[in-house]
Amino acid sequence: MKIVIPAADLHIGGGCKVLVDIAGALTNRGHEVEVVIPQTATVKYSIPCKLTVVPKLDKAYIPYGDIILPNFYTTFQSAFEAWPEQTVRLSLGFEPLWVPNREAALWTYAQNVPVISISSWLDQQIYDHVGRRSTIVSLGIDPLVFRPQGPRMKPLQSQKSGKVILYIARDRDDYALKGFDDFYACMEIIKNEYAGDYVVYLICPDGEISLGELYIPERIFYPINEHEMAKLYRTADVFVASSWFEAFSLPPLEAMACGTPVVTTNSGGVMDFCSHMDSAYVTKPRDPRGLAQGICAVLSDRHLAEKLALGGKAAAARLTKARFERNIVNVLEDIFENR
């Protein structure tokens, strides 16, 4: 079959990477795949199939496919208008929770087309808002990349020995829902209440973001691939995730696979693989005090850190990239064959 994937952009980010992985999995299974992007889009990945650049993602420029796979509310309408019977709604996040045009986003879930989601939480959001169920296909990680054994990031000569707190810092304006302000407030608590030596490693995909006036030891990183991310995970004593809500969230799972204890908010999709005090330390969203307590607990209690690391590795072992790719291709094939 032929699958057309319209994408507004292919920048560095979890959702875009998932689309590239899906395209690769379908291509490897022997299907014809065409990714369609507007001329304003950026492409930060090696695309494993045909890539077509069009003036804009309008219905006139969406080519025919046995399946059209829009994956964001802004790409759905043109695909649905062009090929309504071929459209399958892939949901990588519940857009009505954060986009300006909430009603337009909700409309894309209410149409009579198959829906694929990536977590139990996301499926429930869709059901609660429009009364429709989706087919859940959980994401996964590559265990050959994200594993406990392997290279680690070397400390600076000037860096004191101490614990490493790892955090992905997203722009506080464009990605407020990632909770950087909560992490900032959390680290202010850590500064005042944690007695041990530590350094914060900040991964900054959107340009340099600092903890600034807190004046605590920090290093900024701009990893360019999964292998560099894995080195950072393996170096850390704790990985922290502070999102308000997430459809799935790969970074905590990647950290778990690397044997790093995770402190995360109960942001939704993470609960498909996070169990409090078993595979992760889980706190409420928008609760800096809770995050700080979790970080202090992991850094201060070796037995707890070891327990979370073991539980995290076991959880990550169940959710592999190969499993995701096999399942998503099977679901799309079933939709095509049973339509």
Band of pLDDT at residue 206, cut at 50, 70 and 90: confident
Mean pLDDT of 165-187: 94
Residue recorded with tokens 């530590």: 198
List the domain range (segments joined by +) for residue 235.
163-317
Statement to judge: residues 221 and 303 lie in one domain? yes
Count of domains forming the chain: 2
Statement to judge: residues 13 and 40 lie in one domain? yes
> 17-26, 154-163, 181-190, 205-214 — which is least confidently predicted?
154-163
Statement to judge: residues 32 and 63 lie in one domain? yes
pLDDT at residue 8, as a whole number: 94
Band of pLDDT at residue 157, cut at 50, 70 and 90: confident
Q: CA-based angle 190:269:17, to the nearest 5?
A: 95
Structural domain includes residue 151? no
Q: Give, in order, the Cα–Cα distances in Å from 232 to each of 80, 155, 165, 226, 284.
A: 41, 11, 10, 10, 25
Statement to judge: residues 274 and 128 lie in one domain? no
Statement to judge: residues 330 and 266 lie in one domain? no
All residues at 6 or more sequence positions from 104 whose CB lies less than 8 Å from its CB, including other chains = 73, 77
Structural domain includes residue 311? yes
Structural domain includes residue 232? yes
Q: Residue 52 is part of a domain; what is its CATH number?
A: 3.40.50.2000
Cα–Cα distance between 238 and 165 in angstroms, integer? Answer: 5
Cα–Cα distance between 297 and 110 in angstroms, integer? Answer: 44
pLDDT at residue 226, as a whole number: 93
pLDDT at residue 13, as a whole number: 79
Structural domain includes residue 117? yes
Structural domain includes residue 91? yes
Structural domain includes residue 111? yes
Statement to judge: residues 41 and 186 lie in one domain? no
Structural domain includes residue 150? no
Q: Give, in order, the Cα–Cα distances in Å from 176 to each of 2, 25, 60, 108.
A: 38, 32, 35, 24
Band of pLDDT at residue 339, cut at 50, 70 and 90: confident
